[in-house]
Amino acid sequence: ISLFWRKVCFSYLKLDHISAIVKDRKMEKLKCCKQCPENFLGPMEDMWTPYKHLNAVVQRNLCSPTEQSVIELEVHFKKYKQSFASLLIYPQKNEKHRQLLKNGLIDGVSISKYTRNITISKELVDEALIISDMFNVDEIMALELLCTAQRELFKHPGLSRGLVAVLLYYDGKRALVQTLRDLFRATNGISWVTEVPKEVSNLVTSFTQNLVNQYNILERIVSLLEELDISNEIVILTKNRALGSKKHQNQVQQLYSDIRMSLASSLFYWSAQRGLPKEIVSKLIKNISNYAQVQSSGIVDDTTLKVLFALLYACDTSVLMKYEAPTNIWQNVPILSQEDFLQTVYDTLSSSPQDGLTGTIKLAFGLALTGFRHASVQVPNSTSKIIAYDEQLIDASINSKVFEFLHYYVLENKALYRHEFFIVVFIC
């Protein structure tokens, strides 16, 4: 009995000790909050935190799926569907929120997940307004980004809160686009089979197909590839003194490059698995030469390479040789099933300038038409009159010195040999 009461007394003493520690920590946090409230504003719905969380959740459930993966992904797909649908578009400047932010110097301002107002410093308000003007984003979101940057300062020694906020802004964009890339790669299709459980892959495929069909996300990706220009971005950042040391500038440029690369990769993965609709193919053909970038050696850069191969897969009909009878999956491949696909692409190529990139696409499209001619099965586009123009397109591409272009400007890119499905489409 005495042993029993000793344990009871020890338990109570232990609980009292823990309560005292918790109480001390709360008092310490409250004291710090009064001194610098923006340090202790808690988790934010800013332009960085939620997308990093989403990216981690998706990667974990695709790489190491569990019995709860379907449920967890469903919850996050529902929550972030609008973020994908309006890819990289944030709420814009708001005069009401701007005034609210200015009033926060006296009355305080309400921050996400807080029921009370927090009085903020003039310096913080000024920085939030600069970020809002620079990136054309909502003032409260800019404030929340700065509060998150304050908490992340210890990871970026030597940088101010504002400079860290700039890094988080681009890193948040990168996280969202990389998540889309991973989802497109895990989508069911004709080029590869994913290793994730069938229930997970079906859920991912349903979600991504809905983004394509209902929200036209492929069009948004193509538009972003045209709009995103690092030179213009550097001008804006320099004007607002938002660039720090050489290291900080390199970090910003790398994040920006990663965003463009992830967009191009998303397009590539979707095209390899499910092709591209005629509208997207036509737009890419018209504009690829305008935003294509080259390395210092003159070789096409990795992003341009991904876009080029997305177009090559969009024009690939080798799947016709793999089956003796039509399959349901062909319904999701535009070059095989979309009405007027061949006519639209042919007309676009006929009016496009003669250069190496266009010549490569002409060669691929000409070979695709030959694939229709020799296919052992009939698909909706097998009867198109455009098939007769296969040799004409191939001859035109050869006359534009397409093989010289491929040899000196494409095959010299080492990234080509690091991706299995780059090689596959060349062999096909």
Write out the chain's pLDDT in tens, 428 residues.
Answer: 444 444 334 343 333 443 333 334 333 332 333 333 333 333 337 899 999 999 999 999 999 999 999 999 999 999 999 999 999 999 999 999 898 888 766 455 555 544 445 667 889 999 999 999 999 999 999 999 999 999 999 999 999 999 999 999 999 999 999 999 999 999 999 889 989 999 999 999 999 999 999 999 999 999 999 999 999 999 999 999 999 999 999 999 999 999 999 999 999 999 999 999 999 999 999 988 777 777 767 788 899 999 999 999 999 988 877 766 666 667 788 998 898 999 999 999 999 888 899 999 999 999 999 988 887 677 777 777 889 999 999 999 999 999 999 999 888 888 777 766 655 555 44
Q: For residue 140, is it within any domain? A: yes
Note whether 385 and 422 are same-domain residues.
yes
Same domain as 212, residue 84: yes
Domain membership of residue 95 (yes or no) is yes
Report the predicted TM-score, pTM, of the whole model to 2 decimal places: 0.85
Q: Residue 406 has what DSSP assignment?
A: I
On whether residue 106 sits in a domain, the answer given is: yes
- Do 293 and 215 lie in a common domain? no
CA distance 272 to 332: 12
- Which tokens belong to 221? 């990706």
**Residue 142, in any domain of the structure:** yes
What does the alpha-carbon distance between residue 183 and residue 204 come to, in Å, rounded to a whole number? 6
Q: Cβ contacts of residue 410 below 8 Å, gap of 6+?
A: 299, 300, 305, 308, 360, 416
Last residue of a domain, one of 274, 294, 317: 274
Same domain for 422 and 379: yes
- Domain end point (choices 274, 305, 328): 274
Query: Are 51 and 177 in the same domain?
Result: yes
DSSP codes of every residue in 320-348:
GGT-SS--GGGGG-HHHHSTTHHHHHHHH
For residues 368 and 265, membership in a common domain is answered with no
- Residue ranges making up the domain that contains 292: 275-427
- For the record, the structure tokens of 274 come out as 């499910």
Rounded CA separation 120/136 (Å): 21
Structural domains counted in the chain:
2
Q: Of 226, 246, 274, which residue sits at a domain end?
A: 274
Two structure tokens written together for 365: 């499209």
